[in-house]
Amino acid sequence: MANVVVVGSQWGDEGKGKIVDWLSEQADIVVRFQGGHNAGHTLVIGNQTFKLSLLPSGVVRDGKLSVIGNGVVVDPHALLKEIETLKKQGVDVTPERLRIAENAVLILPLHRELDALRESDGAKTKIGTTKRGIGPAYEDKVGRRAIRFMDLADLPSLPPKIERLLAHHNALRRGSGLAEFDAKAIYDDLAALAPKVLPYMDSVWSLLDARRREGKRILFEGAQGSLLDIDHGTYPYVTSSNTVAAQAATGSGLGPNAIDFVLGICKAYTTRVGEGPFPTDQMDNDVGKTLGERGREFGVVTGRPRRCGWFDAVLVRQTVLTSGIDGLALTKLDILDGFADLKVCVGYKLDGRMIDYLPAGEHAQARVEPLYEVIEGWQEKTANARSWADLPAQAIKYVRRIEELVGCPVVLLSTSPEREDTILMKNPFES
């Protein structure tokens, strides 16, 4: 049985929720392997809309096992809130339905406060995070002072771990002129949370290995996008984890030989939330405003409007390589209906010279100028198309040109938020 990794191939918000939901119907297990509750996925199933941030997309489907891997940072308060929200929508997230890695790092209130402090107006550290404590939690993980899920199962061992954590955080608080955190208050909060969340704890690497040996299909669900990767993204305007496909192995405990197909999700245009370079940004003109209005481009988690621009083939070609993408799922093609002409970025000019990649340096990224190829648009409707025969000839030409420019085939085409409005060329699970 094939196992599939789904990753965003732009800056996130590519429509992964719908694609993952579409694939999860064929999967036995859906695994989150990085990030936290800073990533929003919207699922439309029948007449119900589910908005998930931390839980894997498969959790809303009966008979599927959802897993939060060790590469995810888990806010226990956000976890319980999301579980409660789903319960009100008729989905009972039981321990039989959800398992969480015992070695996953916890996000604490002190992480959220530090994140918000850094993102406050006028702060020199502001980079456009969601202020949910994701970055500070990953910092503590790397600094070997984090509280992990398994620590809640051994409460007598918590006090010295909390003191070690506060030796770092209270020094930061003093430096900012803020009151120090109280160790007992943190302990009491975690002790109260323990019985509510520990039933979900598991040795995830062992669980997944056993299920894989049984021939179960595993779907690895990435959050954010490859261009937000801490190593390969537009640093420092990135997230705090690796978002490329290789993290599916590290963040779940399964080896890379468990991955059979990498599916990259990208929009037929480009969007970005928050700060950072964006070579094809059109938010200062009617193109960007039209794309934003038609595409309803607002962040699921933050509600912030997304910056919108033309498709950047240079960036997607780069993420095809850094994530080892085997096939693309192209979403929101219908948003381009009615444009007389479309532009696609095929290269950059940097300080007077032509380049075919995005440089790694922050200042160089800010200076690149996009080089466009103009493609004739279409006036016919692509929304709700479910076969190639339903598409205008120029829309097909646009898709084929994207394939040529990024060096990767389009295997799925999405033409609306409805899961049925999908054109399938190749099933990743049957690769």
- DSSP reduced 3-state for 416: coil
Q: Which residues are catalytic?
A: 13, 41
- Beta strands of 22-94 (E only): which ranges? 29-32, 41-45, 48-52, 65-68, 73-74
Kindly tell me the burial class for residue 247, based on how many C-beta atoms sit within 10 Å of its own C-beta (0-12, 13-18, 19 or more): buried
- Exposure class string for 402-413: b at 16+ Cβ within 10 A, else e: beebbebebbbb
Q: Which of 171, 159, 185, 165 is nearest to 106 (CA)?
A: 165
Largest CA distance in the chain: 67
Residue type, 95: P
Q: What are the distances in angstroms from CA 386 to CA 23, 49, 79, 416?
A: 16, 21, 36, 10
Residue type, 211: R
Instruction: Compute the half-sphere exposure of residue 120: CA atoms within 13 Å on the CB side of its CA.
Output: 8
The CB density around residue 340, as the number of other CB atoms within 10 Å, is 8
Which is it for the CA torsion 227, 232, 233, 234, positive or negative? negative
Task: For 277-292, give the secondary structure using H, E and C.
Answer: CCCCECCCCHHHHHHH
**CB-based contact 129:120 (threshold 8 Å):** no
